[in-house]
Structure 1
Amino acid sequence: MPDLWGLAAIATKFFLYLGVLASGGLILCRLVLADQMSALDRAARIWAIGFATLAVAMAALGFAVRGAVLMDDVSGMVDPSILALLWQTPPGEALLFRLLGLGTLVLGAAIGGRWLWVAAVGGAVAIWSFCEIGHVASQDRLWFQSVLFAHLIAAAFWIGIFLPLSRLSRSADTLGDAAALGHRFGQIAAVAVPLLVVAGAIMTWRLVGSVSALFGTGYGLWLLAKLAAVALLLALAALNKVRLVPALQRGDPGVGTQLSKSISLEWLCVGVILLATAIFTSVLTVPT
């Protein structure tokens, strides 16, 4: 069982992952699905700013928690000498990436229009910060960091569609828009989701290395929990693409509610995935 600081590290990482991926994903979806999301421009930008603000707060708090861990006392969270020391380490570099990236995202999203491309760059920088620290960065391989980056971009795009599609599917007046958005997203996801899965498989193989480590270590077991949630998420996505979105296009009654419920389950799966990731990147070590 993690101690107090371990639990704090897990919590801050969970909400950091959520904030960065959701904000970056919303901007990415707004750009890639411009025609289908034009009516949701203001809402998407507000959502992105909200998630980015959450991520900034969690990035700063998580950095401060590292100071408390070093001193084994809460005073380490505000000790200038400890925080200055941490600033010179990879966590400090990752924090810099996150603050710069998320600040740029918020600025671009607040202005809107062509500045959404600036916001997208900011989101990409914030997402790249996860490649600069942790188990993947410790492998010291640029190609491996690039695989993680591709994995996270695909995941952000997937997460970014949840709120817009759920909003449109809840109103009878916008079911046609929901059908168009879901159909177009499904076309792109046909490429993005295999990319996400392949990148995840490569990282799993590279980090765990053996079946015995996958089933016989705490790291491996939490990774299995994450994979189970991913499998359920893929099943729900397949249901949406094969059954619910076509039903929306036909105008079947009640299907909007079904899609909204399916998206709620997808959010739950994402929560499990992010929690498992926060746990095995915070308090567990890679099998050797």
Structure 2
Amino acid sequence: MAWWFSENSLDVWTVAMILVAAGIYLSALVATGAVLFRLAFPRLPDHDRRRVARMGVLSAWAGVILILFQWSLEAGYLGGGNIAAATNPMLLGIVFDGASGGRLILVVAGLLLVQAIQLNNLAFSKTANSLSLVGVLLVMLAFVQVGHTVNTPRLVLAVLLIVHLMAAAFWVASLWPLFHLVGQHYNHGNTARILTRFGQLAMGGVGVLVLAGVTLATLLTGGLTPLLTTAYGQFLIGKVLIVAVLLLFAAANKWRLVPAFESGDATAPRRLQRSIALEVVLVVVILLITAVLTRVTSPNG
């Protein structure tokens, strides 16, 4: 299969680039999604609000570090995949002068701005929230500066990707705070209300996520044949299948586990935490596949 040949042609430097890219995706999604989660649930208990803020800040700084490391890796890749090339000023300059440099600036600026929501306990909370939303938009725009969405029709592909990423960010960033919320043995009613509201928001988010993703995939691959015969298409099929499993977990949470939690089932919190933990694992796998899609394969095979 095409994906097998693609995978077996990887060298250590390319593997490092894939892992760093996946780390950037995860950090950026959590950092931006934390802003969306905070805005969607303004009445979180103080300790949970601080936990979400801490998650967002740590993810933002991890993303800044990783994007700078990726800059060096890309310079090293141009020079044959070695440390000397990764620190070569001329090669670093070549990378920075291209589209990757523009993306780096947008990501760093955006990840710095998303942290402004920490200030929402102060008098200027609206300003802080607005700055964080600007940061979210900058990070989203960064992802359309390079990659397969720069192809025609660029505007359509860019909008679809941004919508897709916004929905994914909210979902991914929600997993960690929800995991902690359902494990608490106090304020059961408030936790149940948060879970119910999350389920309502997630239904719309999942629809947007799937619709934008399917449309984007169709435009990028150009039809069924490249979807089945190219490494890009086969990795994409694998990603879609894992997303389908993820959606099954989400559906089980909404229709079975959350109602059980609301009714006071003593086993529901642990079962919900187990389900959320499995969702986190699947998200990591999806992001690794996405990194492969953007780093070593292309829609045209």
TM (norm. structure 1) is 0.95
1:90 aligns with 99
Distance 1:222 1:177 in 2: 41
Count of aligned positions = 287
Distance 1:287 1:152 in 2: 23
2:160 aligns with 147
Instruction: Show the 5 A alignment for 1:8-157.
Output: 8-36=16-44, 39-72=47-80, 73-106=82-115, 108-113=116-121, 114=125, 115-139=128-152, 141-157=154-170
Q: Which residue type is aligned with residue 104 of structure 2? A: L
Distance 2:95 2:48 in 1: 41
Contact 2:230 2:299 in 1 (8 A): no
RMSD: 1.5
1:233 aligns with 2:246: yes
Distance apart, 1:243 and its partner CA: 0.9
1:194 aligns with 207
Q: 1:37 to 1:222 in 2, by over 3 A?
A: farther
> The residue matched to 1:286 in structure 2 has which SS?
coil
Q: Which residue type is aligned with residue 14 of structure 2? A: G
Identical positions, percent: 31
Distance 1:85 1:163 in 2: 38
Q: 1:7 to 1:96 in 2, by over 3 A?
A: same
1:282 aligns with 295
Distance apart, 1:120 and its partner CA: 2.7
Distance apart, 1:227 and its partner CA: 0.4
Distance apart, 1:221 and its partner CA: 1.1
> The residue matched to 2:171 in structure 1 has which SS?
helix
Contact 1:168 1:175 in 2 (8 A): no
User: For each residue in 1:96-137, what CA deviation from the matched residue of structure 2 results, as whole angstroms up to 9, or x when unmatched?
Assistant: 10011011123x044333113322321221122111110112
Q: 1:257 to 1:7 in 2, by over 3 A?
A: same
Structure 1 window deviating more from structure 2 (73-82 vs 224-233): it is 73-82
Distance apart, 1:138 and its partner CA: 2.9
Distance apart, 1:287 and its partner CA: 2.0
Distance 1:238 1:169 in 2: 17
Distance apart, 1:41 and its partner CA: 1.3
**Structure 2, gaps ≥5 residues long:** 1-7
2:189 aligns with 176
**Structure 1, gaps ≥5 residues long:** none
Distance 2:261 2:63 in 1: 34
Q: Which residue type is aligned with residue 68 of structure 1? A: G
TM (norm. structure 2) is 0.91
2:4 aligns with none
User: For each residue in 1:50-95, what CA deviation from the matched residue of structure 2 results, as whole angstroms up to 9, or x when unmatched?
Assistant: 1111111111111111100111132122211211121110001000
Distance 1:38 1:245 in 2: 23
